[in-house]
Structure 1
Amino acid sequence: MAVKSRRQQQQQHRETRHDKPRRSGPEIEEKKSGVFDRGKSRLVSGQIGSRGGSLLNIGIPLLLAAVAGVLHWYHISSLFENDRHFSHLSTLEKEMGFRTEMGLYYSYFKTIIEAPSFLSGVIMVMNDNRTEYPLIINTLKRFNLYPEILLASWYRLYTGTMGHFDYVTKTCWTVNRGEGLHPVNSCEGLGDPASFYVAIVFALNGLMLSFFFIIGAYVSGSSLGGIVTVLCFFFNHGESTRVMWTPPLRESFSYPFLIFQMLVLTHILRTPKAGKCAFVALSVSNVFFMLPWQFAQFVLLTQVASLFAAYIIGYLESDRLQHLLYAHMGIIALKSKLIQYYKEGFLLWIAQSIILLISTIILKMLLSILLRTSDDAHISNLIKSKFTSYKDFDTMMYTCAAEFDFMEKETPLRYTRTLLLPTTLFVIIAITVKIIKDVWIFSRKTESHMVNGDKYSLETTAQFSNGEMVYHFFQLIAFAVLAILIMRLKLFLTPHMCIMASLICSRQLFGWIKPKALHHLLVVGIISAMAVQGIANLRGQWNIIGEFSNVPQEELLEWIKTRTKADAVFAGAMPTMASVKLSTGRPIVNHPHYEDAGLRERTKLVYAMYSRKPAEVVKQNLMRLKVDYFILEESWCIRRTRPGCSMPEIWDVEDPSNIGKVPLCTLIEQNPQPHFKMVFQNDVYTVLRVPKATKDL
């Protein structure tokens, strides 16, 4: 009876809609060709979101979204714990587990929670002289430490409140590590700083998958679409995120807000008259997306380009675009002037595209000159190196790392095995056919107006509906280009492919599959085929069982804490410097945040130890930076990820005059005298001291 009642409501809804005045001529043809009214699309089966939608219809999708979020939170938390046995690690081992940038970011969280007060901790972070000694820098601004500020405030509030009520927030015990290692104290619970930190990150990324479900359901018009998105994400989890291995990275805090931003943007594009609350939500999500991550601006640039592409071909009206992106695209103001010169729509599209491209390039150049900034210069050089033979020290530091190389050939194969790539391509073909069909119908209508002597004018409203679908189409193309150029950016591509895969459930695209039950049956069949490799991928993740241990680095850090002064200055490989700052609190001169131009120059001076330069030159570099100790790692001297990518070979590009000489690091390993004095050595690390007498010269 409930099904019958719902069908009666749908029939009554259709009859009510048919009672409205109908347009004639070409507009009727548009409706028949599959151009649908955006305002009629609902989250589930045409009902969710309507005023008459029942609480049950709304509640079920929200419940499914919540379940997806909880499952993802549990999945990534379990993977992180299984990989490192994190709950049973000592405080030092937990900190060592946060390598490279992760350790650097976490160190500021540690600084704030250990400060006498929250305010004094923030002041210390904003006036830091231990990260790029002897410079005093605002690390809050430089490293986008807003998540650490927020989490530190929550941690202090949580521990303070629980302490007031004498509530135990952590459980500690002694762990016998065996193998000749001394026992360590290990703590578990939200009262443990590292556990609290990662718990918040995993909770946020669990919520992210709830947003994914809602986007998939909203775009496709069916809860089944949301299920497809979530399952595709799980089946391709290793290609979709790395939060379970690297929780403190900026993307772990930022990316969930991009997904929420896309959800709000999708709603704005679909709704004929979006309210102010939607635009406020869009602005707020933009802020939360951009604050933690310096790369966010480039992602939003691809979004601007995707929206503009949808506008150019008629799926987005200019008024809506101006409300969304007027700050980024003031060029739209020239629209009325362009129309006076270009009457044909195709020429107008070309003119707008050229002006957008030229204005973007000119604006970027002018801002760089006026503000005298070079922090983003390495980005343009990195892109240049992808298409030309251009090389320099900085670009090779990026391109020699696998994550900054072109997308590996195995990635599309992995997409194919889970059927994510074939499904996405099928959806792309369907959207392309729809676009071509819509444009052809509109051009026929335009020709008809011109033949009848009607004056042609460019309307301020979009010619076609489903602008949100076309936006996601272009956004996928933009992410695909980024991922092909830089493999690390496939973390944008894969999740968006999961969103696009949800459109196999869309009746707007595949309404020709009848009856509707057959369409759903085909979708279930596709999901079943995806699950064959998808479940195998999940089992592969679940079978990762390990326990973190880095005895050589532990020996190094313990030696630094016990055998050096609190103000001793260190230099060395960027990942190691992050651990030194985090676990010992000693000042460092270089660190893994390589995006800053000044830091790149400092790192080049430090990494001269791995060049073929004379020892005297390198010693003078370290003296200029006021370094007391240099941590030498032999692996950095001989490691070669591929031909031309060892540190001495990278230096050969920068310093061709010394090609053919023995690398300095090799000579220093054999005999550091007379320029340096070896004060510590184990299987991995050698600590060199710059003699005081030499440093005073």
Structure 2
Amino acid sequence: MTKAAKKIKTKAGVEEVPVNWSSQFALLRIAGIIIAGVALSVINARHISTLFENSLHFSHLADVEREISYRTEMGLYYSYYKTIIEAPSFLDGLRLITHDNVTEYGHTINTLKRFNLYPEVILSYAYRIFKRTANALNWKMERCWTVNRGDLSPVESCEGIGNPHYFYIDLVFALAGTTAGWLFFLGTLVSDTVFGGAIAVLAFAFNHGEATRVQWTPPLRESFAFPTIIAQTVVVTYILKNHRSGLLYGLPMVVFGCLSMLFWQFSQFAFFTQVGSLFVVYTFDFIPRPTMETLLKGHLVTFTMAFMMLFGNEMLLTSLYTASILAALILVNLDCILGRITLRPLYVAITSLCFVFGTLGIKLGISTLLQVEDDKHIFDILRSKFTDYATFHTRLYTCSKEFDFISFETLQKLCATWLLPAAAMGIFLFVVVFLFTERKELLYRSGNRGKPYAEVFYNVVQTACYAVMALLIMRLKLFFTPHLCICSAFLANNKLLQSINIHLDKRIHTVIVVAFIAAMAYEGKTNIDKQLAIQGEYSNPEQEMLFDWIMRETKPDAVFAGTMPVMANVKLTTLRPIVNHPHYEDVGIRNRTKLVYSIFSKKPISEVHDTLKKMGINYVIFQMLNCAPDIERPYCAYRGMWDEEDPENINRVSNCDLFNVAATQHDHHRILPFRIAYFRNNNYLVLKV
């Protein structure tokens, strides 16, 4: 019992227990941090929503225009939400997406298993309940008006949460908004002060355009999964900081981890790097064995639940994530043997090599046993980045800017706001602390586990993993940039400075932190203003006219093929069956797409026609702009891809030229047995197969 809590006797003889003010202030501090996190989440959600509205003028679009604005994968995901809310019942809608014969005509697939559609299932169920309640209580939850569109026909536009589009995106933005709150919590945890949380969340705001794209692409899987990944990281950091173990702490980790696995197929790679990062920290004796076992068992339960709820997803079963969990668990349980090694460099080298080779061995063993190749393209992409190796499929990925190496422009922007220098200084500070405090144990282990700053060590290693991912594939900077914000929060950690005998007065340290935030804000405020200045109004009349023709002139069961981005919108807006789509992670759909894209090749036109006919295709949507050459990278144009892929036909006339002549000069006999069914505005050409 502390002195403040001891019983004292008053003159009246009545014993009183003074209030334990330290615990009261601790509770108030925790409550204040939670309130601040919630407030930051709300502000972030409103900011994202404003940017989205500014870019598209979404409130004044008709529902069909909103559907068309969901480009490529976004349209595919939203189509399943639309399917469920328009079905006679929720269970009927669920049955339609788990026994789907529209997305890959000729095959019946479980799209919930393949495409991580739990966000759409949850949102559609919530919308059906909300709509039923609103109708029963006679709530008016949307406003509608007529919008005149110049040369186009007037349309009715509705806004409000009663509109299915608004219900969907508002909840996406609400979830994505929590990223700011979680970053605030994480920054506070690693710095032991709310000033660290402030640095993290302000750095995120100042570099918003390099940290997320939810404001432009709400239906993408990352919009749902990333906030839960950050939430799971907060839980892991708390467990490491306080050396906790047991079910009570493992449960929230499992909940957030499982949600992110259900929401995005790429979450497994993020968690693979987390398992690897934790193992590195463990090899340096910073994590007690019970804590490490809690974390690994949490990951094992996360995988098991996600695997079952995704109907036995083979790509997850054969993932590096699964293999790394098993390898780490085996090595932790072999610690009674490996732990006898006292020479630290030898211990770290042996355990690390065992982890790496164990992970690769288990992964290859399971993949070979089950004959699963769905993730082969990922390793092909990495191989193509460092060698001359290339295939049709790797070019479709690597020719896209988002799958290129991180750009110098991105790094310049991160430096301009002082984020990269701040994170580098934060990491350097920890390295100095590590070398100073561990100087006696760099060569020989003491055998003691559970050293301080395990949470900081973990986040440093995790940032290094995310840095490698972002350098290789620019799209993955959404992991890297937020974690740079976390590393910059280290600068507010006074205890780290005290560990190396730098005793700064807290007031002076606070002034330095505030000055640093002011320096970051100089360019950061400009970035926010630039984002808010983006004004646009979405309009795609050519595609709208195409879809109008499809709905008027083709049968409801007519089967369509074409480029991946257009196919997603064809399915969403016209509800026609399609044979290929933008979700390219399955080996079967990659092969299908290559067959469809033979329309851009130099193969004999009759051979292409026969191929498409065998697939059951009735119409092919062909865009003239897809035949344009790429001067800088010829192999990135569809023509160039096929010249590389099909050299035996390289001297033949391109089908692009044949279709162009047929459409513009009405010389149809050159493309027989294809027939032109639709052609307007020198863009969309629909070929009857």
Normalised TM-score (structure 1): 0.88
Letter in 1 for 2:517: I
1:228-627 aligned at under 5 Å gives the runs 228-326=199-297, 327=300, 328=325, 329-332=328-331, 333-339=333-339, 342-443=341-442, 446=444, 458-459=447-448, 461-462=449-450, 464-511=451-498, 512=502, 514-627=504-617
Residue type of the alignment partner of 1:330: L
For the 8 Å contact 1:100–1:592, the answer to whether it is kept is: yes
Q: Distance in 1 between matches of 2:342 and 2:140?
A: 74
Secondary structure of the equivalent of 1:441? Answer: coil
For residue 208 of structure 1, what is the aligned residue in structure 2? 179
Amino acid in structure 2 at the alignment position of 1:679: A
Letter in 1 for 2:338: L
SS of 1:213's partner is helix
- Residue 12 (structure 1) shift: 8.6
CA offset at residue 438 of structure 1? 2.6
User: 1:605 and 1:49, CA in 2 relative to 1: closer, same or farther beyond 3 A?
Assistant: farther
- Residues 401 and 641 of structure 1 are in contact (CA less than 8 Å); yes or no, is this contact kept in structure 2? no
Residue type of the alignment partner of 1:427: G
Question: The residue matched to 1:291 in structure 2 has which SS?
Answer: helix
Query: Using the alignment, how far apart are the partners of 1:249 and 1:272 within structure 2?
Result: 36
The whole-number CA distance in structure 2 between the counterparts of 1:637 and 1:566 is 29
Percent identity for Structure 1 against Structure 2? 43
Question: Aligned-pair distance for 1:627?
Answer: 0.3
- The offset of 1:320, in angstroms, is 1.7
* Cα shift at 1:52: 4.3
Deviation per residue, 1:393-428 (Å, 9 max, x gap): 111110000000101111111111000011011111
Contact 2:620 2:687 in 1 (8 A): yes
Displacement after TM superposition at 1:272 (Å): 3.1
Q: Kindly provide the amino acid, as one letter, of the partner of residue 640 in structure 1.
A: D
Aligned residue number for residue 110 of structure 1: 82
Assess if the C-alpha contact under 8 Å between 1:331 and 1:356 holds in 2: no
* Whole-Å separation in 2 of the counterparts to 1:229 and 1:54: 22
Q: Distance in 1 between matches of 2:123 and 2:630?
A: 39
Task: Give deviations 1:289-332, integer Å, cap 9, x for gaps.
Answer: 10011111111010011111111122112332122115412232
Q: 2:245·2:294 contact (CA, 8 Å) conserved in 1? A: no
**Superposition deviation, residue 429 in structure 1:** 0.7
1:297 aligned counterpart, secondary structure: helix
Amino acid at match of 1:286: G
1:21-43 Cα deviation digits (max 9, x unpaired): xxxxxxxxxxxxxxxxxxxxxxx
Contact 1:569 1:587 in 2 (8 A): yes
Farther off after superposition, 206-215 or 326-335: 326-335
Structure 1 residue aligned with 2:643: 652
CA distance in 2, matches of 1:267, 1:144: 28
Are residues 354 and 54 of structure 1, via their aligned partners in 2, closer, same or farther at CA, if it must alter by over 3 Å?
closer
Partner Cα separation in structure 2 for residue 545 and residue 345 of structure 1: 58
Structure 2 vs 1, CA of residues 408 and 641 (structure 1 numbering), >3 Å: closer, same or farther? farther
2:33 to 61, 69, 75: 61
AA at the equivalent of 1:403: E
**Residues 1:667 and 2:665 aligned together:** no
Letter matched to residue 52 of structure 2:
F
Q: What residue number does 1:632 align with? A: 622
1:152-167 equivalence runs, <5 A: 152-167=124-139
Which residue in the other structure is 1:27 paired with?
A: none
Whether the 8 Å CA contact 1:590–1:602 is kept in 2: the answer is yes
Q: Aligned partners of 2:109, 2:442: CA distance in 1, in Å?
A: 58
User: For 2:380 and 2:289, how far apart are their aligned partners in 1?
Assistant: 34
Q: Which residue of 2 aligns with 1:678?
A: 676
| Partner of residue 93, structure 2 | 121
Q: 5+ residue gaps in structure 2?
A: 6-19, 301-324, 663-667
Q: Which has the higher contact order (CA 8 A, sep 6+)?
A: 1
1:274 offset after TM fit, Å?
4.1
For structure 1, list consecutive stretches of 5 or more residues without a partner in the other structure.
1-8, 14-47, 447-455, 691-697
Pairwise CA distance, 1:54: 4.5
3-state secondary structure, aligned to 1:108: helix
* Residue identity matched to 1:420: L
Farther off after superposition, 168-177 or 326-335: 326-335
How far apart, in 1, do the equivalents of 2:75 and 2:631 lie?
24
Indicate the residue corresponding to 1:33 in structure 2.
none
| Cα displacement (A) at 1:674 | 1.4
**Aligned partners of 1:50, 1:494: CA distance in 2, in Å?**
36
Query: How far did 1:344 drift?
Result: 2.1
Distance 1:383 1:223 in 2: 40
Range with bigger deviation, 520-529 or 589-598: 520-529
Amino acid at match of 2:118: Y
Deviations 1:183-210 (A, max 9, x none): 0010111111111100000000112211
Contact 2:459 2:487 (8 Å CA) reproduced? yes
After TM superposition, where is structure 1 displaced by more than 6 Å over at least 4 residues in a row?
none
Q: Which amino acid aligns with 2:626?
A: W
Alignment check: 8 A CA contact 2:182 2:234 kept:
yes
The 8 Å contact of residues 245 and 290 in structure 2, kept in 1 or not, is answered as: no
Q: Which residue of the other structure, out of 151, 156, 164, is the alignment partner of 1:185?
A: 156
C-alpha RMSD of the superposition: 1.9
